[in-house]
Structure 1
Amino acid sequence: MLRSVPAKGVYKSDRDNILEDFYLPALSVATSYDRAVGFFSGSTLSYAAQALSAFVANGGTMRLIVGAFADARDIEAVRRGEESRALCERLGEEFLASIDEAGGELFEERFRTLAWLVAERRLDIRVALRPRGMYHDKIGIITDATGDAFVFAGSANESAQALLPTHNYESIDVFPTWRPELEEYFAEHIDSFARLWENRSRGTAVMDVPTALSERLLEVAARTEAPPDPAREAAIARRLAAQEDVEEELRPSGPRLPTSIGGSPFSIRQHQRDALNAWREKGGFNGILDLATGAGKTITACYAIVQMAGGIPGLTVVIAVPYQNLADQWCDILELFGIDPLRCYVSKADWAERLDRTIHEIEMAARPFAAIVVVNRTLKSPEFQAAIARVPGDRLLWIGDECHHHASESFRGFLPEQARYRIGLSATPEHYLDAERNARLAAYYGETVFTYTLAQAIDDGVLTPYDYFPHIVELTADEADEFVDLSNDIARAFAREASAGSKPSLGLTALLMKRARVIASAANKIPALAGALDGARPHPHTLFYCGDGTVEGDADDGDGQFSGRQIEVVSRQLDCLGWRISRFTSREPRRERDEILANFRIGLIDAMVAIKCLDEGIDVPACGTAYILASSRDPRQFIQRRGRILRRSPGKDHATIHDFVTVLPAGHDDGEGHARKLIQSELRRVAEFNALARNASHAYDTLRPVLTAYDLEHIL
């Protein structure tokens, strides 16, 4: 039975033999198998059929859903039960062409197994029609005689080259149904398959398999003399994998476009192509690409690298990023493009000598291509500076990710002036207050040559739509007094320093930070959060953004859980409500943060409670809900956070943002208009979030009393 199969929670084909470690043992004890894969091709069929040879002996049945593109009229006709003969014939021809193109020993073995099951009337195949560009779920449900099941979901390389074990990159998350704590994760997949099979899935129409494919399967079954053999399938897979390892060693290395990414055929999006055209034509291979968070900045740059590497012998690419987690993500994506970068971060002993050797080979024209990923801290080191200065400028492509960091005065003299080719990547390149920073950024990277807004990304389906729920939080009387006192002190300090024309002094900066912490750590945000959660069950893939200040609870309440650092108080509150959480801050070691992100993605934890570590760069596409308890006045922060929440992910059709808006208590008389200034400051964020929300009227209804009181209704 399935409980005896030692399944892991996550399998990745670059480190696991998923066929022999999961599919074969699980299907050998299964009695039913539901499978939904991507759009039909020879490789998707092989992907769906792997290990079915072990399933045949148990007498079980299988339901298989494959995808196909169709236009809106055909989809609507099928939903009405009016299947078009022309559509069936077209799909049948396309399917047979894909099968004929696939070929190969492993594919043929698996196709014979599918044919055997069809002939035995134990396999039912249906086709899910969707408009071009829509995502198709990749789900599997393996069930045994006791009713226990493994529910798994994930991605696979379903390109034409995906039939060999070494090419077929696959990543799946496995959820045993006998573990009730995982029900939040497997129940939706079970329901999703049922909706799809029963033609109840929104935007999809399901039809029977085309006659041409059924007839081909029956023809193959008639020629099959012996039942499928799992030992034979495994042996073929092992032999082909060994052959592929040898061929891989002989295959030319270097930058190349991937055939697929994340289980979908790779092609650059139109906005990415337009961005690179603008970089070339407007900026002369210099400039900033202002792409909305989640719009594929990294993929855009990798595409540029591949194209340039083909035309510039000895091209050296240096990618500078602010954080190690972001550097790791870059390296992972570069590898998809056939690029093995030198990682210049963590320990100097790991990279210094290799960097020197790599640069020497570039100088001597003995190396056709080099890629280097460096974090900003290492970028400033003497060893890195000395090495990078030796790279010939006409062969140097410099890429600054989150390039707005390089506008800081602290980077003056550390960015390679000889670089002929420069790309700045940022969703928020300009600082909202500091013109000097903006000028420094443009002086090095050039002007912003292309902008792709969040609104465009949502309209194009690159990012998910979202709902926005603001929650009003009043400062306590003591907090309000402190806020007003600090605001008066800040006003006086500004008046004193204005005549000098210099930057804010350390004293003024300290006052501004102290006031910001009063707003961010308002004690009433804790009960407001409880109200927003409203006793609901923990919901997976949720983020809680906290401030770095301290919450002062009411000592008279005797409730200690409402005192301490805000992140600790929120964590305790969520724990009491049954949430499985992990904190994600700079205090956690890098390895632990990697593990937290993995556990969040597969649902082993419900939520991450963060301060600032998730503000830039780090991908958490599974995140569907965010509670923003603290936010700075800098638009850069809340724009980055919103984009992070809106990234596309399987099964995610929208996102939800809860925002806690701080105001002075009603009737609090500050005499200097600070209450109005505070709400005006908060409303800048609210207006930005609300402008693109699906439920834009909700924010106005919620905030109407405050808007009316301060005559600010025009802002929303």
Structure 2
Amino acid sequence: MKGWKSTYEPRDWQNVALERWKEHNAGIVQVVTGGGKTVFAQLCMLDFFSSESSGQALIVVPTVSLLDQWCLALQDELNVSPQQIGLLSGQERPRGDEPIIIAVINSARRFSSNFAKGRRVFLIVDECHRAGSPANAKAMEGNFAATLGLSATPEREYDEGFSTLVAPKLGPIIYEYTYKEAARDGVISPFSLTNVHVDMLPDEEDQYRRLSKSIARSLRKGSAGEGQEDRLKWLLQQRAAVSANATMRIPVAIKLIEAHRGERAVIFHERILAANTILASLLKRGHRATIYHAEIGPEVRRDNLRLFRKGHFDVLVCCRALDEGMNVPEASLGVVASSTASQRQRIQRLGRILRRAKGKESATIYTLFSTEEEKNRLQTEASNLEGITTVTWQQSRVRADA
């Protein structure tokens, strides 16, 4: 399209991957979060539109936060005008004639197939592992002139949806770019990880222990008995919630931000109520902080994200809505106040802070944990990152009995 031009010089891996994609105008690229997969998709778009001037691109994303991110990135990084972008979500509708339409996958299920009829459409599915369920796979239905899948972790953890639903529509994995390669090439910032043990309050510990005993009893029973599997799932969710909502995670997260006052920081928490509490406390202490979560209107969300990136705020407090959808390379400090057991979520959150930016020499990530289960996952991660970064362990000085 006239006037569109990438503001980035392509990296070596992007040039190699682009040539592979151009062989069939199809395929999936597996790239570590922060490695430049969105910019790579933009390069593919420029190539597509160079020969398909009347074509259109349909970008399918899993969440409204990622819709926001793409909307900003296309304007800031590819010089696309807002009028050339249509947005499809539960809150917004496109005209339909825009060169680029960004659609949340829930809405794209009922849109993609009809949209592709009689058009030359380039389908891009970001975080394409999310399209691996029968319901979400409907967003990939239709005859497309070109396809591209993007994900740091395209294979799904608990089913065969990638091989049976995603790859047949988008093509095979044509390129992989790992943490090790990104660190070697200087694509992601040098970083350090610090895992901080946070005490639970006595009543929280008691509740956690009781749930653990119930889980053990349920596991001993196995699948015998009607509803046992559902009960086990419920117990695991309840126990995870006790840990994620541990009261002391909030003051410990705030103290870490206080120790790094003035640094560009992102705080991740699982719960909106806790995120709001953290924001209120930071504002009371004089921090320039803002917030981003799914319950905020789309215009305000985008403004908060843009203003944080431009330096009007130092701290961004966010919930899971940003795991797949935030590009904040300016942030050099991450505090994971609470998290789930998902390895994919962990990769996403690390990647948010590891992106390169002008003047950013390194990144620091603190992860708060309260349980042995969390500690074991972090120890496994530390082993996998050996030779890439340093991992240290601390006991929080903010005590539950203080």
Distance (Å, rounded) in 1 between the aligned partners of 2:92 and 2:40: 32
Does 1:519 find its partner at 2:243? yes
Residue 587 of structure 1 aligns to a residue whose secondary structure is coil
Which of 86, 99, 103 is residue 374 of structure 1 equivalent to?
103
Supply the distance in 2 between the matched residues of 1:503 and 1:426 (Cα, whole angstroms): 34
Tell me if the contact between 2:4 and 2:78 (Cα under 8 Å) persists in the aligned partners. Answer: no
Q: Evaluate the alpha carbon distance shift between residue 412 and residue 643 of structure 1 in structure 2; reply closer, same or farther with a 3 A threshold.
A: closer
Shift of 1:637: 0.9
Q: Which of 478, 481, 490 is the matching residue for 2:206? A: 481
Matched ranges for 1:313-352 at <5 A: 314-322=54-62, 323=64, 324-332=67-75, 335-336=78-79, 341-345=84-88, 351=94
1:581-619 per-residue CA deviation (whole Å, 9 max, x = no partner) reads 222211222222222223322333221111112212222
Q: Kindly indicate whether residue 289 of structure 2 is the aligned counterpart of residue 289 of structure 1.
A: no
In structure 1, distance between residues paired with 2:82 and 2:17: 22
Contact (CA 8 Å) 2:113, 2:143: kept in 1 or not? Answer: no
Instruction: State whether residues 37 and 150 of structure 2, in contact with CA within 8 Å, keep that contact through their aligned partners in structure 1.
Output: yes
Cα pair distance change 1:482/1:256, threshold 3 Å: same
Change (3 A) 1:269 1:519: same
Higher-RCO chain (CA-CA 8 Å, sequence separation at least 6): 2
Q: 1:321 touches 1:402 (CA, 8 Å); kept in 2?
A: yes
C-alpha separation between the residues in 2 aligned to 1:410 and 1:456? Answer: 35
Q: 1:452 to 1:571 in 2, by over 3 A?
A: same
Work out the CA distance in 2 between the residues paired with 1:575 and 1:305: 41
Within 1, Cα distance between the matches of 2:163 and 2:220?
Answer: 25
- CA offset at residue 512 of structure 1? 2.4
TM-score using structure 2 length = 0.84
Partner of residue 387, structure 1: 114
State the Cα deviation string for residues 65-90 of structure 1 (Å, max 9, x = none).
xxxxxxxxxxxxxxxxxxxxxxxxxx
Structure 2 CA distance, aligned partners of 1:421 and 1:624?
36
Match of 1:623 among 327, 331, 339: 331
Aligned match for 2:170, one of 442, 445, 456: 445
Q: Secondary structure at the match of 2:41?
A: helix
State the match for 1:468 in structure 2: 193
Q: 2:292 aligns with which of 584, 598, 601?
A: 584
1:633 partner letter:
A
Match of 1:536 in 2: 259
CA contact (8 A) 1:400 1:423 kept: yes
Find the aligned partners of 2:32 and 2:92 in 1 and give their Cα distance: 37
Measured in 2, the distance between the counterparts of 1:568 and 1:591 equals 19
CA displacement, residues 351-399 of structure 1 (integer Å, 9 cap, x when unaligned):
3xx42xx4xxxxxxxxxx9443322232123xx346324135xx43211
How far is the alpha carbon of 1:678 from its aligned partner?
4.9
Please, which runs of 5 or more residues in structure 2 have no aligned partner? 396-402
Query: 2 CA distance for matches of 1:488 and 1:566?
Result: 27
- What is the aligned partner in structure 1 of residue 399 from structure 2? none
Query: Do the aligned residues in 1 keep the contact of 2:289 with 2:315 (CA within 8 Å)?
Result: yes
Query: Equivalent of 1:275, from 7, 11, 17?
Result: 17
SS at the partner of 1:409? coil
Aligned to 1:415, which of 140, 152, 177?
140
Aligned-pair identity (%): 26
The alignment of Structure 1 onto Structure 2 pairs a total of residues equal to: 392
- Taking the aligned partners of 1:416 and 1:318, their CA distance within structure 2 comes to 12
The answer on whether the counterparts of 1:638 and 1:685 sit within 8 Å (CA) in structure 2 is: no
**Does the CA contact (< 8 Å) of 2:109 and 2:135 recur in 1?**
no
In 2 relative to 1, CA 568–661 (structure 1 residues): closer, same or farther, beyond 3 Å?
Answer: same
Matched AA of 1:455: K
Q: 1:308 aligns with which of 37, 44, 48?
A: 48
* Shift in Å, 1:627: 0.9
Q: Distance in 2 between matches of 1:596 and 1:327?
A: 15
Task: Decide whether aligned partners of structure 1 residues 303 and 473 sit closer, same or farther in structure 2, where only a CA change above 3 A counts.
Answer: same
Taking structure 1 as the reference length, the TM-score comes to: 0.49
SS at match of 1:286: coil
Deviations 1:467-486 (A, max 9, x none): 22211123333323322322
Q: What SS class does the counterpart of residue 370 from structure 2 fall into?
A: strand
Which whole-Å CA distance do the structure 1 matches of 2:222 and 2:171 have between them?
A: 32
Residue of structure 2 in register with 1:684 after alignment:
380
Query: Which structure has the larger Rg over C-alpha atoms?
Result: 1
- Would the alpha carbon gap of residues 391 and 402 (structure 1) be closer, same or farther in structure 2, given more than 3 Å must change? farther
